[in-house]
Structure 1
């Protein structure tokens, strides 16, 4: 059965230092992880007390798609526009105590300006991260297709 998103957005993004954050909009204590451990790099995300850090293949451009659902949708096995299989797929539980989050990155001052405010129905959310990363040699002098990172969010069971 098809599940329709309650809300969604797509961003053309450049992840400074190969990372970006989905952070609780009211978390005054937010601190980005300074040291990236081997485990964090291997799983490509880090769950924080009020949000999540997502690591990217490089600091070049990404298309970040965020979709919020009221229940778990079926997992797509491939990136829907290109039809290419995801290069990585991970699921985690994340907390947003204010039931809201914003997208941010290392070079964006906190608390503002962050990206738009997203609202969720639950403090505890399941997050499915799907990456379609550029495969091959990166050369900053030659344009390449951006990585695609889909972020699917629904209330955690």
Structure 2
């Protein structure tokens, strides 16, 4: 098995507004998240507009968002590498970023965000694997919990 090193990667502490985060092409004016979340969208936990991607989270509490970009499709482990815990959910989809770049955003944030982050891609059309490791148990505002982890892995189609 050949180990592929990511072309780019980053991890962010995040708090999803309305339980969602966006991968937005900063130059495309076609990004629009759905206003109504259908049962199908709720079940798969993502939505693909004409450009960009909407990822839904378990709730509005804190997440760690890990983004990895590869030149070719990587072999991805079945468990989260640092903890060894299995992913709660795993989905793969295709998305389009006409400017060959994307930034992270959410319903109450402007995009493109001033001062980044900006991720560069080799192609407009990409495959994206979304992996969630969600905190299991009760969540209360007064009790600190481990943040959910959402890993977004991107490679050209």
TM range (shorter): over 0.9
Give the secondary-structure state (helix, strand or coil) at the position aligned to 1:27.
coil
State the partner residue of 1:62.
Answer: 63
Contact 1:104 1:115 in 2 (8 A): no
State the partner residue of 2:30.
Answer: 29
- What RMSD, in angstroms, separates the aligned Cα atoms of the two structures? 1.1
5+ residue gaps in structure 2? none
State the partner residue of 1:110.
Answer: 111
Contact 2:30 2:50 in 1 (8 A): no
TM, length-normalised to structure 2:
0.95
TM, length-normalised to structure 1:
0.95
State the partner residue of 1:88.
Answer: 89
5+ residue gaps in structure 1? none
Contact 2:24 2:105 in 1 (8 A): yes
In the alignment, the residues of structure 1 paired with residue 111 and residue 95 of structure 2 have an alpha-carbon distance, to the nearest angstrom, of 20
Distance 1:114-1:56 versus aligned 2 partners, 3 A rule: farther
Q: Alpha-carbon deviation of 1:114?
A: 7.3
Contact 1:51 1:95 in 2 (8 A): yes
In the alignment, the residues of structure 2 paired with residue 114 and residue 36 of structure 1 have an alpha-carbon distance, to the nearest angstrom, of 30
Contact 2:6 2:68 in 1 (8 A): yes
